[in-house]
Structure 1
Amino acid sequence: MNQAINFFWTILCFIPVIGFWMAANSTQLLYVLILLSFLSLLIPAKVLQLSHSPKFYEALGVKFIRKLVQNGEYATRFIRKNNPQYKLIKDKANAAAYMRTIVMYERYHLLCFTFFLLSAIYAIITMHYAFFVIIMLANIIYNISPILLQQYNRARVLKLNK
């Protein structure tokens, strides 16, 4: 179930980016922007964390986002139909492993956010305004929302471990 959710959002949000780059027909620039996007991984996670308060993220609507993603409310509900004891975080060791997963997800979406943003900027430069709008919407859905969600999850797990 969780992988199906990932696949759905990835395909949906990458379609406009792939479509733009196919229309742009600029393979060399594509590779340059991908390489530049990897530089975003050098930014320390501490710098990116907007708040350590779960309430901050809840005010941004993260609870709604959490319903629609892997390990979210709907996916967990579906899994618990077959496995009523299912819990994502069972103990402190499991919480530590989950924190590493949070970092991995956040870094992946930061990389994609940067690439989508650079692609959108190039779309504006080349006067592909519709692609700009669609790529930015995809960036909000596919990257900004998950980054906020991972920061929320980190804040919640850290609060549990106090």
Structure 2
Amino acid sequence: MPTAEPHRATPSPAVLAFYNAVPNVLWSVLSLVPMVVFCYQHVARPWLYGFVALSLLAYAWPTAWLRHLQLSTRPAVYRKLRVPVLNHFTQHGTFVNRLLRRRYPQYQYLPLRANLAKVVRTTYHLEQFHWVMLVYFLLTTGYAVALGYWSWVGVLTLLNVGYNLYPIWLQQYLRLRLRRLPRLG
């Protein structure tokens, strides 16, 4: 008679990756499909390549620049803008963690204090990604303005705010919260 596989107390890295990939894929598809459609239909290829090259320069920004681009040093500012609400629907967010805890009651996202510095570095990486995308969306939206595609301007602006600006603010807000924990300064 085969024995049942023992119940794991915490999810495997593959399970964590899957659960956290779902919101990433969902938000990316919702935001990038309209962008791809606009670029394919309306953006001349030399402009497209130039926009990509310019936006990728944001990956070269040092962390100190990101600190200077911080919206506020007060969490209340982010709460007033409803930034924490976004954390319900992101990777390692409330909804994903709740689903994981249903199956793995012992699961906690926040790692040991010794690993919090890694979490802070991850927030900078994610913020940098969204700055790259924000710059690309801005350049493309400017192109739509120049061509007079006003409905596209509205769509691309809304997508940029939801897919890039708010996630940038979310990373900043999370760092502020993490700094309040002991030994993170």
Q: TM-score range by the shorter chain?
A: over 0.9
Percentage of identical aligned residues: 31
Asked if 1:7 is matched to 2:25, the reply is yes
Asked if 1:34 is matched to 2:52, the reply is yes
The gaps in structure 2 that reach 5 residues or longer are 1-18
Q: TM-score, normalised by structure 2?
A: 0.83
Asked if 1:47 is matched to 2:60, the reply is no
Structure 1 letter corresponding to 2:91: Q
Tell me whether 95-104 or 47-56 shows the greater mean CA deviation: 47-56
Question: Which segments of structure 1 move beyond 3 Å, counting only runs of 4 or more?
Answer: none
Structure 1 letter corresponding to 2:26: F
Residue of structure 2 in register with 1:106 after alignment = 127
Root mean square deviation of aligned Cα: 1.3
> Which structure has more RCO (C-alpha within 8 Å, separation ≥ 6)?
1
CA distance, structure 2, for counterparts of residue 102 and residue 153 of structure 1 = 8
Q: CA deviation at 1:90?
A: 2.6
Aligned residues: 162
Structure 2 letter corresponding to 1:122: Y
The gaps in structure 1 that reach 5 residues or longer are none
Pick aligned residue for 2:161 from 120, 135, 140: 140
Asked if 1:128 is matched to 2:115, the reply is no
Asked if 1:16 is matched to 2:37, the reply is no
Please tell me whether Structure 1 or Structure 2 has the larger radius of gyration of its CA atoms.
Answer: 2
| Secondary structure at 1:160 match in 2 | coil
Q: TM-score, normalised by structure 1?
A: 0.94
- The 3 A distance-change label for structure 1 pair 67 and 59 is same
List per-residue Cα deviations over 1:124-145 (Å, max 9, x = no partner).
Answer: 1011111111111110110011
